[in-house]
Amino acid sequence: MFRKKLNDELGRLSVEQFREADKAPLALVLDNVRSQHNIGSAFRTCDAFRVGRICLCGISATPPTPEIHKAALGAEFSVAWEHYDTGLAAVQQLRKEGYVIVSVEQADEATMLQDFRPEPGKRYALVFGNEVKGVAQEVVDASDLCLEIPQYGTKHSLNVSVSIGIVLWNIILNNLK
């Protein structure tokens, strides 16, 4: 018989322990993500996978807001974040810091997610775009590669928070073990 575990049985880190813990060699860039619920979800997913930081860009809201908190459930306090005026400014800074820039976008010459294998020892900045327009073309142009999530239905895209979960799960659990 299955019994649901209580929260205090899960052995989760405190915010202080999380901040001190080793992080995945990843940064998340949100390029003009308009929904604060999607931003909060990104924080919560980054906390779950111990992503090092989030770069909020352009119109992307920044904590603290009730809407971000509603989806993040406090992860906005554990995951480091900063704001940039544009996605391009964020990726230029991350490149200076040695990150490989990876836009998650449907693009010519994109690598399908299941075929992507990060190189050991490298750090990756994963760029996710606006819910309608996607990643800005100037950011795609500044990227080292694009990843595409295969899709088989009638819609053209997935919700950005769903895409973040799929990509982080795939990269961390299948490639950065």
Could you tell me which residues come within 8 angstroms of residue 154 by beta carbon, excluding any fewer than 6 positions away? none
Q: For all residues of the chain together, what is the average pLDDT? A: 95
Q: How far is CA 42 from the centre of its chain?
A: 6
Question: pLDDT band at 166, cuts 50/70/90?
Answer: very high
Q: Which helix (H) or strand (E) holds 170?
A: helix 160-174
Q: What is the pLDDT, as a whole number, of residue 158?
A: 96
* C-beta separation of 57 from 36 below 8 A: no
- For the chain, domain boundaries: 17-174
In tens, the pLDDT along 98-132 reads 999 999 999 999 999 999 999 999 999 999 999 99
DSSP per position, 60-109: ---SS-HHHHHHHTTHHHHSEEEEESSHHHHHHHHHHTTEEEEEES--TT
Q: What is the pLDDT, as a whole number, of residue 95?
A: 98
User: What is the Cα–Cα distance from 75 to 161, expressed in whole angstroms?
Assistant: 14
In terms of DSSP bridges, do strands 145-148 and 111-112 run parallel, antiparallel, or are they unpaired? parallel
* C-beta separation of 29 from 151 below 8 A: no
Specify the CATH superfamily of domain 17-174: SPOUT methyltransferase, trefoil knot domain (3.40.1280.10)
Q: Is the pLDDT of residue 177 over 80?
A: no
In tens, the pLDDT along 41-75 reads 999 999 999 999 999 999 999 999 999 999 999 99
Question: pLDDT band at 174, cuts 50/70/90?
Answer: low
Q: Which amino acid is at 4?
A: K
Q: Is the pLDDT of residue 175 over 70?
A: no
Determine what percent of the chain is predicted with pLDDT higher than 90. Answer: 94
- Name the DSSP class of 135: S
Token representation of residue 107: 């693009």
Q: What is the pLDDT, as a whole number, of residue 176?
A: 57
